[in-house]
Chains A and B, each alone.
Chain A
Amino acid sequence: MEAPQDNAQLLSDCAPYVKFAKLDELLALGRANSLWPLTFGLACCAIEMMAAGASRFDLARFGAEVFRPSPRQADVMIVAGTINKKMAGAVKTLYDQMPEPKWVIAMGNCAISGGPFVFPGQYAVVEGVDKLFPVDVFIPGCPPRPEALIEGLLKLEEKLTGKRRWPVVKPD
Chain B
Amino acid sequence: MLVKEVISPPGAPNETFVINLGPQHPATHGVLRVKITMDGEYVVRAEPICGYIHRMQEKMGENRTYAQYLPNTSRIDYLSAMTYTHGFVGAVERALKLPVPPRAEYIRVLTSEMNRISSHLVWWGAFLLDLGGFTPLLYAFDDREKILDLLESITGSRLTYSYYRIGGLYNDIDDAFIKGTREFVAQMRPRLKMYKSLVTDNIILRKRLLEIGPISKDMCRKYGATGPVIRGSGVPYDVRKIEPYSAYPEFDFVVPTFEEGDSMARYLVRMEEMAQSLRIIEQALDKLPSGPVMAEKVPRVLKLPAGDYCYAVEAARGRFAVRIVSDGKEIPYRVKLRTPSLSNLSLFEEASQGMLLPDALALMGSLDLVIPDIDR
Contacts and interface: CB of A to CB of B under 8 A. Distances in A.
Contacts of B145: 51, 54, 56
B116 interface: no
Nearest to A81: B53
B57 to A, nearest CB: 8
B47 to A, nearest CB: 16
Contact of A43 (B23, B60, B372): B372
A147 B214 CA distance: 42
A86 B141 contact: no
A142 interface: yes
A125 B141 CA distance: 30
A90 B23 contact: yes
Nearest to A52: B141
A125 B64 CA distance: 17
A84 interface: yes
Contacts of A39: 24, 26
Given A56-B142, A116-B75, A119-B63, A44 B53 contact: no
A7 B52 CA distance: 64
B56 A124 contact: yes
B255 interface: no
B56 A117 contact: yes
Contacts of A50: 122, 137, 141
B75 A87 contact: no
A132 to B, nearest CB: 14
B30 interface: yes
B25 interface: yes
B336 interface: no
A102 interface: no
Given A43-B78, A43-B372, A143-B160, A55 B53 contact: no
Interface in B110-160: 122, 137-138, 141-142, 144-145, 158-160
Interface residues of B, number: 32
B191 interface: no
B79 interface: yes
Contact of B52 (A56, A90, A122): A90
Nearest to B158: A145
B341 interface: no
Given A84-B53, A86-B52, A44 B138 contact: no
A55 B142 contact: yes
Interface of A is mostly: loop
A39 B346 CA distance: 26
A84 B54 contact: yes
Interface in A83-141: 84, 86-87, 90, 94, 116-117, 119-125
A69 B141 contact: no
Given A51-B141, A90-B23, A44 B75 contact: yes
B55 interface: yes
Contacts of A48: 158-159
Interface string A36-72: 0001111110111011001110000000000101000
A56 B63 CA distance: 39
A87 B141 contact: no
Contacts of B72: 116
A161 interface: no
Given A116-B72, A124-B56, 20 more contacts: A40-B24, A42-B30, A43-B372, A44-B159, A44-B160, A54-B145, A69-B26, A81-B31, A84-B31, A84-B55, A86-B52, A116-B71, A117-B55, A121-B59, A122-B59, A123-B59, A124-B54, A124-B55, A143-B158, A143-B160
16 contacts: A43-B30, A43-B55, A44-B75, A51-B141, A51-B158, A54-B145, A55-B142, A69-B25, A81-B53, A84-B55, A90-B23, A94-B24, A116-B72, A119-B60, A121-B59, A145-B158
The 8 closest A-B pairs by CB, nearest first: A54-B141, A44-B78, A87-B52, A69-B26, A55-B138, A117-B55, A119-B63, A56-B145
